[in-house]
Structure 1
Amino acid sequence: MTRQEIPVFKTREENVAYMNATLPIRESFDLIQRDLLIGGRVSSFYYVNGFTSEETMLKIMDALLKVKEEDMPEDIWKFANACIPYIGVDVMFDFDQILKSLLSGETCVFIDGYRACIVIDCRTYPARNVEEPDKDKSLRGSRDGFVETIVYNTAMMRRRIRHPALIMEMMEVGDSSRTDVALCYMGDRADKALLKNVRDKIQSIDTDDLRMNQQSLAECLFKRKWYNPFPKFKFTERPDTASACLLEGKVVILVDNSPSAMILPTSVFDMIEEANDYYFPTLTSVYLKISRTLINLMTIFLTPVFLLFMQNPNWLPKVFAFVAVKDTVNIPLIYQLLMLEVAIDGLRLAALNTPSMLSTPLSVIAGLVMGEFSVESGWFNAEVMLYMAFVAVANYTQPNFELGYALKFMRLALLILTALFNGWGFVMGCVLVVCSICFNKTLSGRSYLHVSLK
């Protein structure tokens, strides 16, 4: 992204005229300009109301108002270092960077006689408390989670990795939004080819904004094929998980205003990991991974296999004869399964949008009406309800939301192909699932089944 560089003018009046012509100072109430007399010279302060720490700014202004005319140095750097008792002070000579700093929350000061702008970083962002994320909980370990402020997120990882090799590169993406993006990696462990690929892709992004933050960045980095639903990135809201991935040699991408980290490279085995796998002993974590993998496979194949055997009762082994549908089938099984797939998503959306005080009544109503009454009315068979209930609960055994829907789409394809072409349709569906996983490429160009040995 190339931007036009406009140098700061010679006089304060010219600089103020340019700033007031560029910014809607009069129209926008939160953009503030204030003129003060510092060392006998007229100075103009620009800041965003709501981003500036008032207590810090009052102390800085108090110190500036005490500067005498004979104490004003000729060099602006000497003035910034000697007269401003604050750490976060910089001098800028380009209006593009000045405007970006101002709209990011920093205070910009133009002083008559200086052909530059003093930028004071005394901003404070509205932020929620650092607390454990609801989606990615852990039985052990820390109880903190990423928030929407990128500086807090980098600090939480820096707190865990006190090593000089930890590098966090700051970039910006979007012509209008100019969103801060942090590329985090261990300089002595990260794959240099992958790092260069990711850095070049971020720097070459040509977009007006990242309106949906991390998701918009992911779509700009990797133009996914719509027919393959498996996710290309792993996301986590836990700083301990992100720090562990950094120490494994992976690359972590943070986006301002997004309370999660994007982890690269990734594979299907990384997708099914969760925070508990890092805190339990090896034997326990391996058992949990195997159990999670088997349950995920069952979510894909349980209902299609059930449908296949119900369409071909003679294929069902005698030892499993009890799974056959005993009651009258009023609606074909495939329609029952598809309706319940949609109904489960409807209940999930209803629970998401239901106020917490009404969640318990909603659960009772859904359990009674969708469960017992729907079977007694003849709409659904009890066996179908049982297997779909297992599938609905099993989807929550893995933390990745996108992976859950990818498994759901594979299950739907298997169901439809099995209903249309019977046994051959089931075989075609299995081939489709295997090909979707094996031929899925991540941003690093590696196979989805790649296993890192680090």
Structure 2
Amino acid sequence: MKIRKRLKRRPIAGSEAKAYENIEVSLQIDENLDHLKNILGESMDVKILPFYERPVPFVVCFIEGLVNKQQIDLSILQPIHDWQDTEEDVTPQTLIQQIEVSAVVNKHQLFGHIITPILKGQVAVFVDGLDVAYTIPLEFFPTRGIDEPESQTTVRGPREGFIETLQINTTLLRRRISNPLLRFKPLQIGNVTKTTVLVAYMENKADLQVLNEVMNRLINLDTDKVFEGGMIEELIDENGYTPFPTFQSSERPDVAAAALAEGKIVILIEGTPFVLITPVTFISFFQAAEDYYSHYDLSILVRFVRVMSFIISFSLPAVYIAVTSFHQELIPTNLLVSLAAQREGVPFPAFLEALIMEIIFEILREAGIRMPRPIGSAVSIVGAIVIGESAVAAGLVSPAIVIVVSLTAISSFVSPYYAFSGAARILRFALMILAATIGIYGIIMFYLALFVHLCSLTSMGKPYFTSLAPFTDEQDDTLLRLPFWWKQTKLYKKWKASS
């Protein structure tokens, strides 16, 4: 598979090593202290505490706010002080043995292996007379509580959502999948940010080819910063430009757990509550977690509603423009007379009329999102009503276009995934231009080109239309959500065996 140029193949160990990474720990504690000050600078939150007055001098280094200071006193400082005051045979080696009694200790000889743990919240200890340093994991920092996901609400189902802390997110997955075959592979991405990323998968279900492809792309990712999954998604996507997402983003642990159980790969990123799921298909974005918590007949109906809403969300304004501008013969006579009467006195053609209303609605949508939550929804709703009524009363637009734009907007909110509805928003304007240029023929050409484009897309090497074609036993969970007992029937088992 051809990877785009931004995915530069390079050694994992990094040829762009910084100057301090190969500096060895010295036997002299003063020399190590100078290295620490030169590397970490005079930053206010960097705490370097030398203890020269003890029988064996040592230095403790940590970042304030990332560690549990009370635990430093209980696990390191107080035991060492008490022990040095009571023991006669105090040596550097026995000092470290005393720390190992109350804490997990990791040994390092290079500063390049010490600085990163310090910046991640560990405590480093340098002992005079030893040419190694020790890091102790005592991370502690404020975290947000587990709340209900705001971007993917549900009427029935779990109310827990991921948060910005990886350790808690892995715990939420472990609670749902109590299986020893669940694996988490850690990576660090970003030459500057050193963001921790976990690749989660089920060892007995994941496609090894997909897993290796994901790991290879993440390891060879050459970027300075990563703060959110969207940045990784854009950098490792193998497709050219496409408005359609090829990764599924979710902040629901039940959705991620279900994806893992199906053999998919889940990417968790430190600092964001959203995880990435791959590979995905076109039909995945019409499926919601609530489909599996409701009765199957209702789930089937809702999925068809989502598909129809998606089509309406980018097609309706273009169809209105095409039939009113070029193909009036397609409109029933009574409706045509009504539309002509409404448009009498409107100074703009149908295309400009629809374009102005769509732009106004997009402005209102963004204003509602960015404004403070208590007043954001009020501004978007009241603004749409007031502007729509005022525009009709002023004779700038017809009542019909207000209905068309309103129905289009409502349909765009039906999608369970925000990124997928964003694709419809982009396609809507392109289709409107084609409809205003060559009418219904432009719409047909657009649909053909869109279908070809979707067929060419892949997600981690898997075709975007997988499960829709070819026809396989996976059809029981595409547009249809057949009952769970269906897989226990003889008919299903016979079908499975034949396919």
Q: What's 2:50 paired with?
A: 35
Alignment partner, residue 282 of structure 1: 296
Match of 1:427 in 2: 444
Deviation for aligned residue 1:220:
2.1
- Alpha-carbon distance between aligned partners in 1 of 2:97 and 2:413, rounded to the nearest angstrom: 56
Give, in whole Å, the separation in 2 of the partners of 1:66 and 1:134. Answer: 51
Question: Which of 218, 222, 230 is matched with 1:206 structurally?
Answer: 222
**Matched residue type, 1:378:** G
**1:277 and 1:323, CA in 2 relative to 1: closer, same or farther beyond 3 A?**
farther
The answer on 1:239 being equivalent to 2:253 is yes
- Verify the 8 A CA contact 1:39 1:72 in the aligned structure 2: no
Q: Per the alignment, do residues 218 and 95 of structure 1 end up closer, same or farther by CA in structure 2, a change over 3 Å counting?
A: same
CA contact (8 A) 1:46 1:109 kept: yes
Counterpart amino acid of residue 287 in structure 2: E
1:71, 1:183 → 2: CA distance? 47
Report the secondary structure of 2:171's partner residue. helix
Shift of 1:186: 0.5
Q: Distance in 2 between matches of 1:248 and 1:360?
A: 37
The reply to whether residue 257 of structure 1 matches residue 271 of structure 2 is: yes
Residues of 2 paired with 1:421 and 1:184: CA distance? 49
Segment drifting more, 253-262 vs 322-331: 322-331
The alignment partner of 1:293 has SS state of helix
Matches within 5 A, 1:164-175: 164-175=180-191
* Alpha carbons 2:56, 2:90 under 8 Å: kept: no
TM-score by length of 2: 0.84
* 235-244 or 395-404: bigger deviation: 395-404
Letter matched to residue 178 of structure 1: K
SS of corresponding position for 1:41: coil
Cα distance in structure 2, aligned partners of 1:191 and 1:101: 33
SS in 2 for 1:136: coil
Asked if the contact 1:375/1:381 (under 8 Å) is kept, the reply is yes
Question: Structure 2 residue aligned with 1:438, among 432, 448, 455?
Answer: 455
Distance across 1 between alignment mates of 2:375 and 2:216: 49
Quick one: which of 111, 114, 118 aligns to 1:95?
111
The CA deviation string for residues 333-374 of structure 1, in whole angstroms up to 9 with x for no partner, is 111111122111100111122223433652464144212111
Deviations 1:392-427 (CA, angstroms, capped at 9, x unpaired): 111111132221121122222211111111232222
Residues 387 and 11 from structure 1, CA distance in 2 versus in 1: closer, same or farther, beyond 3 angstroms?
same
User: In the alignment, which residue of structure 2 is the partner of 1:142?
Assistant: 158
Q: CA RMSD in A?
A: 2.3
CA distance in 2, matches of 1:216, 1:144: 25
Query: Judging changes above 3 Å, is the alpha-carbon distance between structure 1 residues 344 and 36 closer, same or farther for their aligned structure 2 residues?
Result: same
One of 30, 33, 58 as aligned partner of 1:16? 33
Distance in 2, Cα, partners of 1:72 & 1:281: 71
- Secondary structure in 2 matching 1:167: strand
Whether the 8 Å CA contact 2:198–2:268 is kept in 1: the answer is yes
Residue 329 of structure 2 is aligned to residue 314 of structure 1: yes
Matched, 1:449 2:481: no
Residue of 27, 50, 53 corresponding to 2:65: 50
User: Equivalent residue of 1:128, what SS?
Assistant: coil
**What is the CA deviation profile of residues 295-319 of structure 1, one whole-angstrom value per residue up to 9, with x for unaligned ones?**
1112122222222221211122469
Distance 2:151 2:355 in 1: 27
Structure 1 pair 416–323 and aligned structure 2 pair: CA distance change class (3 A): farther
Could you tell which deviates more after superposition, 57-66 or 100-109? 57-66
Partner AA of 1:93 in structure 2: Q
CA deviation string 1:209-246 (max 9, x = no partner): 22x432222222125523x2111211001111111111
Query: Residues 185 and 199 of structure 2 are in contact (CA less than 8 Å); yes or no, is this contact kept in structure 1?
Result: yes
Instruction: Name which of 191, 194, 203 aligns with 2:210.
Output: 194
Give 1:13 shift: 2.4
Deviation at 1:435, TM superposition (A): 2.3
**Contact kept in structure 1, 2:364 and 2:384, CA below 8 Å:** no
Matched residue SS, 1:189: coil
Residue type of the partner of 2:236? L
TM-aligned CA deviation for residue 320 of structure 1: 6.4
2:201 counterpart of 1:185: yes
Give the deviation of 1:43 after TM superposition.
Answer: 0.7
Q: For 1:151, what is the secondary structure of its paired residue?
A: helix
Q: Map of 1:332-347 to 2, 5 A cutoff?
A: 332-347=349-364
C-alpha contact 1:414 1:430 (8 A) present in aligned 2: no
Contact 1:38 1:64 in 2 (8 A): no
Indicate conservation of the 8 Å contact 2:369/2:376, yes or no: no
Assess if the C-alpha contact under 8 Å between 2:191 and 2:223 holds in 1. Answer: yes
Question: CA 1:72 to 1:187, structure 2 compared with 1: closer, same or farther past 3 Å?
Answer: farther
2:83 is paired with a residue whose SS is coil
The alpha carbon displacement at 1:5 in A equals: 3.6
Deviations 1:263-285 (A, max 9, x none): 00011111222221232233322
Displacement after TM superposition at 1:433 (Å): 2.3
- The answer on whether the counterparts of 1:31 and 1:48 sit within 8 Å (CA) in structure 2 is yes
Q: 1:216 to 1:385 in 2, by over 3 A?
A: same
- Farther off after superposition, 309-318 or 257-266: 309-318
Q: 2:121 aligns with which of 95, 105, 117?
A: 105
Q: Does 1:374 align with 2:391?
A: yes
Q: Distance in 2 between matches of 1:70 and 1:205?
A: 53
Gaps of 5+ in 1: none
Residue 404 in structure 1 maps to residue 421 in structure 2: yes
Q: Secondary structure at the match of 1:410?
A: helix
1:216 corresponds in structure 2 to: 231
Greater Cα offset, 166-175 or 62-71: 62-71
Q: Where does 1:258-273 land on structure 2 (aligned, <5 Å)? A: 258-273=272-287
- Separation (CA, whole Å) in 2 of partners of 1:247 and 1:390: 37
Which residue does 1:153 correspond to in 2? Answer: 169
Q: In 2 relative to 1, CA 38–143 (structure 1 residues): closer, same or farther, beyond 3 Å?
A: farther
Deviates more, 1:178-187 or 1:347-356: 347-356
Distance (whole Å) between structure 1 residues aligned to residue 382 and residue 297 of structure 2: 41
For residues 406 and 320 of structure 1, what CA distance do their matches in structure 2 show? 31
